[in-house]
Amino acid sequence: MTDLTGQVALVTGASRGIGAAIAEALAAAGAHVVITGRDTRALEAVEERIYAAGGAATIAPVDLADADGIARLALAIGERWKALDVLVHCAAVLPELMAVKDIDQVQLSKALTTNVLATQALLARFDPLLKASVDPRLVYLTTSVATAPRAYWGGYAASKAAAEVLIDCYAQESRNISKLRVAIVDPGATRTAMRAKAYPGEDPASVKTPDVVASRVVALLGEQFASPHRERVNQSS
């Protein structure tokens, strides 16, 4: 089992779904987890579950669309811990699925802000803290449509593809000058609210639960993977 005792981890999009499951799994592995999201009450519920299981967490409500909020979060973490060992970036916005010609510009702008601009802001603000760690790791949660686009998924796919490029370039820029290792993980079909929104007729029991993804992410953090590393989490992982 991966032992993260004494390490500090930040998880975005941690109020529910895969982000919450990863936060709880990181805490169970011994990390102090900083959990972020927009829903304070949902974050508090995740924090309570972590504490009930014997782990440690700090909630930090942040809207990633607010660049100043990301800057304040980085400053607060840096003042308390001086370094960040693990950053797991799960937060994303799924705009309504529709043909490219019909894409709503307001929804697309929101997706680009949260999925792309916020990703760059996170990399910029947390780069010094990650590189201050003795074993820094970044895990980015992506989607298959970023590299295999499908009809009606244009808005989401474009935003996630752009974010993937940023992550991959950042990994290449960092690997020869620091110990930072970067993994891009496609969770695959997983039982989440976002999945239910995209596939309203699907039987939730037909896809894996978020804890399967969480277990794989924590296990990956204990491996000596090459950077950038890419993988997809299967049903039985």
Strand partners, 33: 9, 57
205: left (phi over 0), alpha (psi -120 to 50) or beta: alpha
Tokens 């004494």 belong to 6
**Cβ neighbours of residue 201 closer than 8 Å, sequence gap 6 or more:** none
Q: Which one of 51, 156, 170, 199 is the catalytic residue?
A: 156
Provide the 3-class DSSP secondary structure of residue 216: helix
For residue 212, report the phi and psi dihedrals to the nearest 5 degrees.
-65, -45
Contact yes or no for 61/94 (Cβ under 8 A) = no
According to DSSP, the residues that pair with 5 across neighbouring strands are: none
Active site residue 156: yes
190 forms beta bridges with 208
Instruction: Say how far apart CA 78 and CA 146 lie, in whole Å.
Output: 32
Q: Which residues are catalytic?
A: 156
